[in-house]
């Protein structure tokens, strides 16, 4: 009886699923036509050299590996890609997805981005060897960079979550320090010793918060380096493979847009925070800036040429707009000077608001005198009862006077601020028509300038 035998692992356990035959041992898939060719019976003797075309098998298994990777089954994808590379060691996409699957098995304390980057660099090397066109090379190698960027961004996200936990501890300690500080202020007059205890507690909380802040900065910088270094190493590898950098520059900028801009906040922040990682990092960043700059400059030159051609053909319209601009400037100058004079008056009133009023000075003098009496009372010995009573009577009278002075201070301050603010409001009311006219003129000025520079 004829039977199906898997070409990959030799298993005879093949089951038809969704129109294809699937090996239950290794997962390799075969079409119906391929299955017919695989059916064998008895022993077959073959002589001479045999060439076996396993390209369909590799493509089927690679499609299966990519599907497993996209579904998050990284262990399965890694295993299938490893088996494919035993058949076809230079398969670019098998190397690519093997490295990516391994990288996505990272944890915050065991990042594997460097391993993924090494595999992706190997894939880019294979791609360069087998690709003639620079355009094709940059387009395909960008896939590796974008996937590595996604991996690095995911790792940064994990790092941010860890940072948030540290931030919660930091905020909690600061809150406790603030609470202890407030308590020390409340009790310092009645119980100085308790106040000192609260101050010491606040210092302990502040010190603990500072330790967490230092740990947070150190961990974040280290973890950023864990992702930035492999990402940049891959970028340098891709750039180094471009043969004609001048010609491919504009196209390369286009296909690299996602790499630099998509989810770029983490990447750019990491570039600032992480320690310098050598010339490769600087080379990649600066080279990418150069490529983007060349492309932008070329596009800007073309845009300006079209604008210049338009205004050369519409000279009368341009002259009328320039005359209107000059007239606007003539109107703006005196209005600006007038407004400046009003602003100087308002600044003088703001300074007046900060003045210390006589009632406040008298209140502060009375408060300082009471503090001196309290110190004197606190220094009285056990046998100075008479002096203590005299000081207590005097303190009672002086405190009553302080309360009266405080009420007067508050009333005078309120009246003073109300009067000054009323003066400011009157001046503001006078400036409103000037502001409105200046705003209207500036809006028209902006419209004219926009008309001169808009795309044609």
Q: Which of 295, 313, 331 is the last residue of a domain?
A: 313
Q: For position 397, what pLDDT does the model report? A: 92
| Encoded tokens for 71 | 């579904």
Same domain, 217 and 335: no
What DSSP string runs through 332-375? HHHHHHHHHHHHHHHHHHHHHHTPPPHHHHHHHHHHHHHHHHHH
Q: For position 97, what pLDDT does the model report? A: 93
Same domain, 291 and 345: no
Same domain, 346 and 248: no
> Per the domain annotation, does 131 fall within a domain?
no
- Tally the residues of the chain: 456
Q: Which residues pair with 447 in a beta bridge?
A: none
> Per the domain annotation, does 323 fall within a domain?
yes
> Per the domain annotation, does 78 fall within a domain?
no
Alpha-carbon distances of 352 from 260, 338, 339, rounded to whole Å:
53, 22, 20
Cβ atoms within 10 A of the Cβ of 51, count?
A: 4
User: Distance between CA atoms of 19 and 23, rounded to whole angstroms?
Assistant: 13
> Per the domain annotation, does 104 fall within a domain?
no
* pLDDT tens-digit series, residues 399-420: 999 999 999 989 999 999 899 8
Q: Which residues pair with 22 in a beta bridge?
A: 15, 29
Same domain, 164 and 298: yes
Same domain, 363 and 256: no
Q: Which of 281, 313, 345 is the last residue of a domain?
A: 313
Same domain, 159 and 307: yes
Give the three-class secondary structure for 90.
Answer: coil
| Encoded tokens for 187 | 């009790």
User: Distance between CA atoms of 456 and 318, rounded to whole angstroms?
Assistant: 14
Do 41 and 1 touch, CB atoms closer than 8 A? yes
| Encoded tokens for 68 | 């497993």
Do 223 and 159 touch, CB atoms closer than 8 A? yes
Q: Which residues of the chain carry a pLDDT beneath 70? A: 1-3, 8-10, 25-26, 36-55, 132, 216-221, 224-225, 227-228, 242-298
Same domain, 259 and 399: no
Q: What is the chain's alpha carbon radius of gyration, rounded to the nearest angstrom?
A: 39
Helices (H), 241-314: 245-255, 257-261, 264-273, 279-313
Domain count, the chain: 2
Do 190 and 148 touch, CB atoms closer than 8 A? no
> Per the domain annotation, does 420 fall within a domain?
yes
Q: For position 440, what pLDDT does the model report? A: 92
Domain of 408 in residue numbering reads as 315-453
| DSSP category for residue 276 | P
Give the three-class secondary structure for 112.
Answer: coil
Residue 342's closest CA among 433, 417, 416?
A: 433
> Per the domain annotation, does 180 fall within a domain?
yes
Do 272 and 418 touch, CB atoms closer than 8 A? no
Same domain, 307 and 319: no
> Per the domain annotation, does 321 fall within a domain?
yes
Q: Torsion angle, CA of 93/95/97/98, rounded to 10 degrees? A: 160
Same domain, 305 and 319: no
* pLDDT tens-digit series, residues 110-158: 888 888 888 988 998 898 888 767 778 877 887 887 788 788 778 877 7
Give the three-class secondary structure for 133.
Answer: coil
Number of H-type helices and E-type strands within the chain: 14, 3
Residue 378: burial class (beta carbons within 10 Å; 0-12, 13-18, 19+):
exposed
| Encoded tokens for 239 | 């750039």
């Amino acid at each position: 009886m004829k039977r199906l035998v898997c070409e990959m692992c030799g298993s005879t356990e093949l089951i038809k699923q969704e129109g294809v035959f699937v090996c239950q041992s290794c997962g390799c898939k075969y079409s119906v036509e391929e299955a017919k060719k695989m059916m064998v019976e008895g022993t077959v003797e073959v002589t001479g050299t045999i060439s076996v075309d396993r390209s369909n098998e590799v493509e089927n298994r690679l499609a299966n590996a990519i599907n497993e990777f996209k579904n998050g089954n990284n262990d399965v994808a890694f295993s299938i890609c490893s088996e494919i590379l035993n058949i076809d060691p230079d398969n670019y996409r098998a190397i690519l997805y093997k490295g990516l699957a391994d990288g996505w098995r990272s944890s915050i304390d065991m990042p594997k981005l460097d391993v993924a980057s090494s595999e992706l660099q190997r894939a880019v090397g294979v791609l360069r060897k087998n690709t003639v066109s620079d355009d094709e090379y940059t387009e395909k190698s960008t896939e590796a960079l974008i996937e590595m960027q996604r991996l690095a961004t995911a790792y940064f996200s994990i790092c941010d979550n860890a940072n948030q936990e540290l931030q919660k501890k930091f905020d909690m300690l600061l809150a406790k320090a603030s609470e202890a500080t407030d308590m020390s202020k409340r009790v310092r007059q009645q119980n100085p010793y308790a106040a000192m205890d609260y101050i010491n507690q606040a210092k302990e909380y502040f010190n603990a918060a500072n330790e967490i802040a230092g740990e947070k900065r150190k961990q974040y910088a280290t973890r950023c380096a864990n992702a930035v270094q492999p990402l940049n190493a891959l970028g340098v590898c891709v750039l180094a493979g471009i043969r004609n950098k001048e010609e491919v520059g504009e196209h390369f900028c286009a296909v690299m847009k996602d790499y630099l801009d998509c989810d770029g906040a983490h990447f750019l922040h990491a570039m600032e925070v992480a320690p310098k990682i050598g010339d490769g990092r600087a080379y990649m960043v600066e080279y990418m800036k150069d490529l983007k700059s060349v492309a932008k400059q070329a596009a800007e030159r073309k845009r300006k040429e079209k604008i210049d051609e338009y205004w050369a053909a519409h000279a009368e319209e341009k002259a009328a707009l320039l005359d209107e601009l000059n007239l606007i400037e003539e109107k703006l100058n005196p209005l600006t000077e007038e407004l400046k004079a009003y602003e100087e008056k308002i600044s003088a009133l703001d300074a007046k608001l900060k003045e210390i009023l006589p009632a406040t000075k008298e209140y502060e003098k009375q408060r300082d005198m009471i503090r001196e009496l309290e110190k004197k009372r606190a220094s009285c010995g056990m046998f100075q009862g008479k002096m203590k009573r005299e000081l207590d009577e005097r303190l009672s009278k002086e405190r009553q006077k302080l309360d009266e002075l405080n009420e007067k201070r508050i009333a005078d301050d309120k009246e003073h601020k109300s009067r000054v603010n009323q003066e400011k409001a009157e001046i503001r009311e006078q400036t409103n028509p000037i502001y409105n006219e200046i705003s209207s003129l500036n809006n028209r000025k902006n419209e004219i300038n926009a008309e001169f520079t808009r795309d044609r």
